Copies of this chain bind each other. A is one copy, B any other.
Amino acid sequence: MNWHKDTLEIPSHGKGMYAFTDAVNARIQAWGIREGMCFLYIQHTSASLCISESYDPSAQDDLEIFLDRLAPERQPWHRHTMEGPDDSPSHMRAILTDTDLTIPIDEGKLNLGIWQGIYLFEHRTRPHRRKVLIRCIQTA
């Protein structure tokens, strides 16, 4: 078994879902991995990872509105507001989604379902550069 590692930098410009499936597959291809496991880890608490439907953009729109409604800004009980009204809700949205993803690699790429895409879910209003650690075990 071989081991590969790198860090992806993903720019975000406000709340929403940013696809980066292609960036992961590009690394897998560059490393010559045919089969194995891919581990993704985001080093942030106000942005997160998620796998969802990549075909119809209206699915993503609905997911973004959904999280906005589930963890809305400017609630009277919020105490963690030091960095603004989007601060505390960003942590709430992050713990509901994923900090890490573990995905099988087959035939030289992530073995996703036909409609699946990998997303960075940005929960802050301002632009950021987000760091996602990528680690791969190569079995073939």
Chain A positions near chain B (C-beta within 8 angstroms): 1, 3, 5, 35, 37, 39, 41-46, 50-53, 56, 58-59, 61-63, 65-66, 70-71, 77-80, 82, 87-88, 91-92, 94-104, 111-116, 131, 133, 135, 137, 139
Contacts and interface: CB of A to CB of B under 8 A. Distances in A.
B3 A94 contact: no
The copy count of this chain in the complex is 3
Contacts of A3: 1, 139
Given A45-B53, A62-B77, 4 more contacts: A3-B139, A45-B59, A45-B113, A61-B79
Query: Which DSSP category, helix, strand, loop or mixed, fits chain A's interface?
Result: mixed
Nearest to A83: B56
